[in-house]
Chains A and B, each alone.
Chain A
Amino acid sequence: MVSNEVPMSKSLNISQLRRRWQILLLQLISTASLIFLMQRMTRLYGTCSDSFVESYGDSLYWCPAYEHTRGLRWFEQETGSLVLPDFLTGLDQTGEMTVAAPLVLCFAITGTWIYALTREESTRKWINIGAAVIFFAWMLLPFLISWIMAMDHPLNHIDNLWGPLLFVFEIVFLGVVFAPVLAGIMGIWGLSRKFLTWTVGYYLTVIGVHAILTFEGITESVDLGLNPLPAQIGEATMMGGLVSPLALDLIEVAILLLLYLESGSAVISHMEYASLLPKDAKRDPDFVRQFDNVVNGHLVHLIGVMSLVALTTAIALEFDDFLISTVGALSGGQWSGQVKESLELQLTYGKVISAGLFLVVVAGMRFVLPWQRVTGIFETALLRFRSSET
C-alpha cells in the first residue's frame, strides 16, 4: 500500500526511536533535571540547624535532613563499621562529589533492570529468583550454618544476622536521598510513568515534611534539628533585580521538578503512540514526518513554556514591589515606603496575593495577544521563502 517507505533507521520502530536525537534529548533533559533537582534539594534541605549543630559540639550528629553522608557516618560510629564500602557510598569524598558514586550505582542498577526487562519472561523470572535467593542466602546461611555446626555451644550466633540487618539500614540511609533518583532514572530510561510520578510525589513529600517539621509551631514542641528556610524571600539582587538568591533556588527546585516530569512523560507518551502503530505505518513517510513534527513541537514547547513559567513565577514573586512602586509613583512616596517595609508584605501573604493577581493577568493575556497567529504568519512566510529558494 505504501509506495515509498522511509529507511529502517528513520522508522518509528521502538528500537530506532530509542536512538532518535529528539527522544534522547528529552531523556537527557529529564535526567539532568533530576540530578540537578537532587543537588538543589541537598543544598536547600541537607543541612541541620545551627543550634542543633552547636549542641553536639565536636561529636558526630544526625538530623533527618536530605543528605546521606551525615547519617552513614553517624551510623558507622554507632555500629563500628559499615557493610557498604566508602567508595560506593561516597563517604570517601567531600562536597558534591559524595553523590557521584551512588549516582553511578543508580545508573548501573537501571541498566541491569532495563536489561532484565528486555529479556524473555522466563529469563526475567530466573533473574528475580536468583537475586532473591542470593540475598536471602547471604542473610540467613551464615547464621544457619554456624548455628547447626555448633549446636552444643551457647546460642551466640545471632551476630551473624547483624551484618545483613546493618546493610538494610545503610540502604535506608542511602535510599532517603537516592531512592527517588533511582526511581526517576528507571522511569526515564525504563519508560515507567509510575516511577516518574512516584519521584515527583516523593520530592513533594520531602518538601512538605520539611516544611511541617521546621514550622515554628512544631519546632516549639519537637525540634529534630532541621534547618528551616528563611521566612522572608529577601531582596531581589540577581538578574537585574528580578529575583532574590533564595527565590532563585526555590524556583529552580519547582522548575526542575516540572521539567523532569514533563520531559520524562513526553518520552513515554511518544513511545506509547509509536508502539501502537502497525508495522507498515511505522515506515510510512507521512507518519514519520508527523511524528517528527509532534516531537519537535514538544521540544520547542518544553523549552519555551518552562522558560516562561520560570520567568512568570519570578515576576509574580516581585509583582508586589511593582504594584507598590506604581501606587507610590501615583500617590506619593511616603505611604508606599511604609507599605513596602511592612512585615505582612515581606511574608507570604502579600507575595501570594500579588502573585495571584499577576497570574490572572498572564492567563488573561491569551485573549488579548494573537501571538499564535503572528507566529503562524511568520512561519508561513518562512516556508514560502524556503520553497522559493529551492
Chain B
Amino acid sequence: MWTRKAAIMFTSGISLILIGMMISNFQLMIVGLSFVSLLAINGWVSGHSELLVERETSATNVYKGDDIVVSLTITNKSYRRTQQLELFDNVPHEMKMRKGINQMRMNLGPGQTAKLRYVVRCPLRGHYTIGPVSIRYRNAFNLFVNETKLDDRSDITVFPQIRDIEEALLRSDVPKMYSGATTLKTPGPGMEFYALREYLPGDSFRSINWKALARTGEMMVNEKTRDAVTDVFVIVDTRDVSRIGTVLKNPLEMGTVAAASVSNYFLKRRDSVSLVTYGSRMDYLPPETGDKQYFKILSGLASVEAKGSMPLQAVTNALSPRMSRGSPVFIISSLEGDGTTLPAIRNLSGKGHEVIVLSPSSIDLERLVSRIPRMSYEVLKLERQNRLTAIAGYGAKVIDWMPDVELSQALLQIKLG
C-alpha cells in the first residue's frame, strides 16, 4: 500500500513533469522524473512477514494485580531479508505495561532471530487474549506499507484477588457456626473414620478392616466421613447496579474478591462451596470440594460482568430445593434496586440457613466518581442503614462494607456488631 508520502511524491512528480513540459523547463521536469524514479526503484524492495513467531507467557492463570512475563521469539526462516518491519504484539488495553515494550522495529537477515520481552500487569479480572501479532513492513523511505497479522494468541485468565481472611473469620462469629457441623456428617470419601459395615461386592480391598475380620470372622469394611463437613453457598450480585463506582472499585469487583476469598477459605477447610451469580441470568455451580472446584469458582468469577436486574428472591426460590438444610449462605450484594431482598432473606433464615450479608456500600462508592450533596448523602445513607437493620432483624448477619475497608476488617464487623 502506498503511504501518504508516496502519493504526495507521485502527484508532485507528475505535476512537476507536466508543468516542466508546459513551460519548457528541464529542471522541473527532471525533479519530477527523479521523484517518480525514486518510487519506481523503491518498488523493487519489498519486505516480507513470513516469520515464525513463538510466544511464551510466564502464566496463563493469574490473580488480579499479578504480572505476566511475555517472551516473543521471531525467526526469519526464509532466504530473504525481511527489510524494515515493525512488530507489535497486541495486548488488551486493560493490561498495563510494566517493563519492556510490546513492539520492535527490526530487519532480520535470513535465519536471524530476535527476542521481544515485556511484562504486563493485569489490574482487572477477566478472560483476555494476548495477540495476534501485527507486522507492518515499512519501506526505508516510508513510501510503501504493508500490514499483516500472525494469528498467534495466548489466552490469559485473571482471577479475582484472594485476601487472607482466616484470622478474621476465626476472630469473628462466622466460623464458629460451622465448626463441627455434625448434622452434615455423612459417609463418603474422606480421611476420618466414620463406622464399620459389612463388606459389599465392589468395595475396595484396601478398605477391609482385617482386625475386625479376625475378631468376628466376617468381612467388615471401614467407612470414612465425607470430607466436606458443610455446603457453603456464596451468592454474588452481578446486576447492572453493581458497576457503581470506579473501574477498580465497585460492588462487583469488591464482591468477586470477597467471594473468591470466602470460597478459598472454606475449600481449604475441605468444605463444599457452591457459587451462584445473578445478573441478567443465574449461574449456579453445585457444591463441590477440592482444587478443581476452586478453579471453577475463580474462572466463574473472572468472567462475571455487571448486567441485568434479576431479583434476589428469584435466585433463592430457584436454589431452595438444592440447598442442604442449615447450610450457611453468603450473600454479597450492594442491596440496591431490589425490592425482593427482604423477603428472600426472610425465607432463607426461616429455613434455618445462617445468612451472612456482605454489602459493599454503593453510596460511598458512588461518591468516588461523582459529587453527592451532603444532605442527599445523609438521606441515602439513612435509607441504607434502615434496609440493613431490617435485614438484620430477620436473623441475618449484615456487614456494611465501606470502600476503604479491607475485607478481613469488614468481616470482623460480625463480631463487633
Contacts and interface: CB of A to CB of B under 8 A. Distances in A.
B42 interface: yes
Contacts of B99: 1, 278, 280
B33 A355 contact: yes
B29 A352 contact: yes
Contact of B37 (A233, A284, A294, A316): A316
A226 interface: no
A301 B44 CA distance: 11
Nearest to A277: B101
Counting chain B CB atoms within 10 Å of each CB, the highest count among A211, A266, A308 belongs to A211
Nearest to A232: B26
A149 interface: no
A247 B26 CA distance: 8
A302 B33 contact: no
Given A312-B40, A366-B43, A372-B81, A297 B140 contact: yes
A258 B37 CA distance: 11
B24 interface: yes
B205 interface: no
Interface string B2-31: 000000000000000101110111111111
B196 interface: no
Nearest to A347: B24
B28 A211 contact: yes
B41 A362 contact: yes
Interface in A219-239: 229-231, 233
A44 interface: yes
B46 interface: yes
Give the contact-size bracket for chain B.
Answer: 35 or more
A11 interface: no
A257 B38 CA distance: 12
Interface stretch (B106-114, B180-188, B403-411): B106-114
A110 to B, nearest CB: 25
A92 interface: no
B115 A286 contact: yes
Interface size class of A (residues with CB under 8 A): 35 or more
Given A286-B114, A287-B104, A380-B110, A262 B37 contact: no
A373 B81 CA distance: 9
B219 to A, nearest CB: 63
A352 B24 CA distance: 11
A253 B79 contact: no
Nearest to A252: B30
Interface string B201-236: 000000000000000000000000000000000000
Contacts of B21: 348-349, 352
B101 A305 contact: no
B81 A376 contact: yes
B78 interface: yes
A309 B20 CA distance: 19
Contact of B33 (A291, A317, A365): A317
Contacts, number: 185
Nearest to A254: B34
A293 B106 contact: yes
A233 to B, nearest CB: 6
Contacts of A113: none
Given A287-B104, A309-B41, A313-B34, A250 B26 contact: yes
Nearest to A363: B40
A211 B27 contact: yes
A88 interface: no
B36 interface: yes
Interface secondary structure of A, over-half rule:
helix
Contact of A255 (B34, B83, B142): B34
B145 interface: no
A1 B117 contact: yes
Nearest to A290: B106
A136 interface: no
B101 A278 contact: yes
A139 B23 CA distance: 45
B80 interface: yes
Interface string B124-168: 000000000000000011100000000000000000000000000
A251 B34 CA distance: 8
A231 B43 CA distance: 32
Interface in A182-233: 204, 207-208, 210-212, 214-217, 229-231, 233
A298 interface: yes
Nearest to B117: A1
B35 to A, nearest CB: 8
A273 B138 CA distance: 13
Contacts of A277: 101
B25 A376 contact: no
22 contacts: A1-B69, A207-B27, A208-B28, A211-B23, A211-B28, A231-B24, A254-B31, A284-B117, A289-B114, A293-B107, A294-B106, A294-B107, A297-B83, A309-B37, A316-B33, A348-B24, A359-B33, A359-B40, A369-B44, A380-B110, A380-B111, A383-B109
7 nearest interchain CB pairs?
A376-B80, A254-B34, A363-B40, A290-B106, A211-B25, A293-B107, A301-B140
Interface of B: 17, 19-21, 23-31, 33-46, 69, 78-81, 83-84, 97, 99-101, 104-111, 114-117, 119, 140-142
Interface of A: 1-2, 44, 204, 207-208, 210-212, 214-217, 229-231, 233, 246-247, 250-251, 253-255, 257-258, 262, 265-266, 269, 273, 276-278, 280-281, 284, 286-287, 289-291, 293-294, 296-298, 301-302, 305, 308-310, 312-313, 316-317, 347-349, 351-352, 355-356, 359, 362-363, 365-366, 369, 371-373, 375-377, 379-380, 383
Given A366-B44, A383-B109, 5 more contacts: A204-B31, A208-B19, A254-B30, A316-B37, A348-B25
